[in-house]
Amino acid sequence: MNAQTNASAVWTLQGGTARHLGLGSGELSVVRGRVWVTGQGDGQDQVLGSGERLRLRDSQDVVIEAWDRGEAAVVRWQPRVHGFGLRALAGLALAALARKAASSASLAQGSIKVGDSMASCGALK
């Protein structure tokens, strides 16, 4: 299961310190100060100030750093919750059916003795 908790995290970044957000999606908001955001996949760094937000997609490997060396920045990270939609449930149901069919086929194949099959005794050509 790929679900994350819905709790947001608030971090204080001291000047000159960085934090890796990882590869998940979510929303980054600056509560106080300014932060430098790098690694969004588009090659463009951004500087965000108090009250600004940035939405991040899955697979965006992002690092944030306090912009001003002498001033701490406070940020809030709200991860996106990955829930199960209808498409995911349908996929789980199909996977379960495929496992059941494979299991039934395996049982049927194991119950046929050599020579009992029409193909093995030459009836089918």
pLDDT digits (tens, 9 = 90+) for 75-125: 999 988 665 555 555 666 666 666 676 666 655 665 555 555 555 555 555
pLDDT for residue 3 = 42
Give the phi and the psi of residue 96 in degrees, each rounded to 5. -65, -40
Distance between CA atoms of residues 80 and 16, nearest Å:
27
* DSSP E strand boundaries for the chain: 9-13, 18-22, 26-32, 34-38, 46-49, 53-56, 62-66, 73-79
pTM over 0.75: no
Residue 63 in tokens: 């690092």
